[in-house]
Amino acid sequence: MAIDFTLSQSQRELQAGARAFAAQVLRKVLPTIAPFHKPEERFYAIRPFYDAMVDAGFVKALLPTEFGGTALSIVDFAVAAEELAAADINVPTTLLGTGLGLQPLLRYGTPEQKQKFLPDFIENGSRLAAFAFTEVTGGANYDCPDPKAGVQTFARREGNEWVINGQKHYTTNGTGWDGNGAHLFSVVCRTDPALPPAESLAVIVVPGNTPGIKVAGILDTVGHRATISPRIHFENVRVPVDHILGKPGDGMEIVEAAFSWTAALIGAACVGVMRSAFDTALHFSQNDKRSGSVPVIEYQNVGYMLADIKMRIEAARYLTWKSCHQFETTGGRSRELAIITKVFCSELCVQVVYDSMRLVGIDSYTDMYPLAGLMQDALCFPLYDGGNMGVRRRQLHALFRSKDYDSMASAEARG
């Protein structure tokens, strides 16, 4: 069978619909959030745009058909995500945050657990889920084998309940829309402080209205200005024992799978931002003479810079599609390409936006063009969702160190 990157008719319709939605709805996000100085004000201001995404079916796309969702494939999701991110990064990131919060349940929950929690998001798609992963001391060494280090959020079993205590931050969506918490948290914790994560790391599903969950503060960020990054404290939070996904120790696998799903999709978000930067630079080049006699695109160095930028965008797009397809077809077992996609596309995005700024010149550092804002957004990609240095390259290093590592497995679409 020939390798074919041609989009199907349904994918072209999805792409066109997402592009139209981005142009008609998401283009209004930036002027809407501009007057607000506090991160929570900006986040709450995007609620109408998120509701519009719900109405357009984007939340249902995350959920299985048996619960009323449409179960969009990860490749299709990437096609749509690129279009959305080209217009705004904040609202799609909120959607991605809910997807990340639900991934552990979707992939590792029992039928009973799914039935208990997922219908809420069909009944009201504007409800938010959050993945409570990053410790206030950092998340890179969540799998540290030393029981005294790593994850310090603990779930102690008392009878038929887990009692959770710990502090997290960068918990995207963790405030909910009213500052009182997300509708549902997937909490990464350890069930025994004396055991290493291979035996004790767990993911426990916690409804957001459970007593003891506190929004302790909100971190402001340079980019992703309307994406919320709160500190969440869990203080004697009690949930039934059957809220654990799998068993203690399974958290290692669950965390890896959840972050591999986002890793592949972040490639699409990066491509969307790169597209916006390229379009800005191209329009400038075609129309601005810089006090010369011809538009600057007539100069060879400008044309070559545009060529380099466009080549990077195309390479990033098809790597993203490939990694999403492989993650889907292997049931999430093949993760190398997803991790590579996150590292490659995120760092490429920073370079593309920077080169677009170099092409436009000093005006790009003002509000005359969107490029400075795009750079603020781009700088987040290599740092969040498992930083490229602290987590993602370490994941690749671990793969390479394995005695049974096969360097051609990803290229040949083997799990």
State the catalytic residues: 385
CB of 139 within 8 A of CB of 133?
A: yes
CA–CA dist 134, 192 (Å, integer): 18
CB of 182 within 8 A of CB of 128?
A: yes
Residue whose tokens read 């999701």: 77
CB of 350 within 8 A of CB of 379?
A: yes
CA–CA dist 191, 249 (Å, integer): 9
Which residue from 380, 374, 384 is spatially nearest to 352, judged by alpha carbons?
374
72-94 b/e (C-beta count within 10 Å ≥ 16 → b): bebbbbbbbbbbbbbbbbbbbbb
189 backbone dihedrals φ, ψ, rounded to 5°: -150, 180
CA end-to-end distance (rounded Å), the chain:
19
Which residue from 270, 261, 225, 253 is spatially nearest to 40, judged by alpha carbons?
225
- Residue 343 burial (CB count, 10 A): 23
CA-to-CA separations, 226 to 33, 106, 231, 324, 372, in angstroms, rounded: 7, 27, 16, 27, 16
Full DSSP string of 154-194: EEEEETTEEEEEEEE---TTTTTTTSS--SEEEEEEES-TT
Which residue from 131, 259, 148, 258 is spatially nearest to 200, judged by alpha carbons?
148
CA–CA dist 92, 85 (Å, integer): 7
Q: HSE-up of 394 (CA within 13 Å, CB side)?
A: 13
